[in-house]
Chain A
Amino acid sequence: MPLCLLYFSQIRDALGREEERLDLPPGSRVKDLERLLGKRSPQIAGPLESVTFAVNNEYVDRDSELQDGDVVALISPISGG
């Protein structure tokens, strides 16, 4: 199941890229993606804990099931205004 991941601010800086494609097994949830990313990229394991995930431009909780082709953005705590 292909996903498009988008990174911003400190997560982007830590990973050194703005986006990537990732394949996850069908039925995967946001928390599965989080676990996989933390394991693969330990430098973001800490920051991941305070990330809110957005799927197709809507914030979701970690139990949400991901769908084929979802665009998943990792939103660190925000500071606009």
Chain B
Amino acid sequence: MVQLTREKISVDRLLDSVEDHNTGGLVIFLGRVRNHAEGREVRAMDYEAFDEMALAKMEAIAEEAGVKWPVKKIAIVHRTGHLELGEVSIAIAVACPHRAEAFAACRFVIDTLKKTVPIWKKEYFEGGEAWVEGVRPDL
């Protein structure tokens, strides 16, 4: 399952999507809105995606994870729109036969997503708002 959503991410639904009795290792990563960034107090965040390309890149990451590790089920869900502190912006679930490969694949997915998927965030803080200075994507 690869999705962009403007709704709150349901971890239950994420888990349902990676149900597989052939897998003993299930690793979940949740990224959420933190209350500080570079010494500034953050109050909320906006996420914006280039939907079509972001989905294509997320699909490609899921596929690549499956080539590198014995991934049986994988889910990548990124939220867009306005998020308050503590809300989940990204949820990844990877199910593999064993834990080591599930940890490695999940790590690969979040690290690669941050380097390749066209999504931007804007921080709201005391006295203003600003687009976060991001990283130039890997070609």
Q: A8-B48, A80-B49 are contacts. A59–B114 as well, Cβ < 8 Å?
A: no
A67 contacts B by Cβ under 8 Å:
no
A9 contacts B by Cβ under 8 Å:
yes
CA distance A60 to B122 in the complex (A): 25
Q: Per-residue CB proximity of A56-81 to B under 8 Å, as 1/0?
A: 01011100000000000101111111
Question: Chain A contact residues: over half helix, strand or loop, or mixed?
Answer: mixed
B86 contacts A by Cβ under 8 Å:
no
- Inter-chain contact A76/B120, CB cutoff 8 Å: yes
- Inter-chain contact B113/A81, CB cutoff 8 Å: yes
B52 contacts A by Cβ under 8 Å:
yes
A41 contacts B by Cβ under 8 Å:
no
Interface size class of B (residues with CB under 8 A): 20 to 34
Which residues of A sit under 8 angstroms from B31, Cβ to Cβ? 81
- Inter-chain contact B50/A77, CB cutoff 8 Å: no
- Inter-chain contact B119/A75, CB cutoff 8 Å: no
Q: Per-residue CB proximity of A18-46 to B under 8 Å, as 1/0?
A: 00000000000000000000000000000
CA distance A57 to B110 in the complex (A): 20
Q: Of residues B89, B121, B137, which shows the largest number of chain A Cβ atoms within 10 Å of its Cβ?
A: B137
The 5 closest A-B pairs by CB, nearest first: A80-B119, A79-B134, A77-B134, A9-B120, A79-B132
List 5 additional A-B contacts (Cβ < 8 Å) besides A50-B136, A61-B139, A78-B136.
Answer: A78-B134, A79-B132, A80-B78, A80-B114, A81-B31
- Spell out B's residues near A (CB within 8 Å): 31, 47-50, 52-54, 56, 78, 89-90, 110, 113-122, 131-139
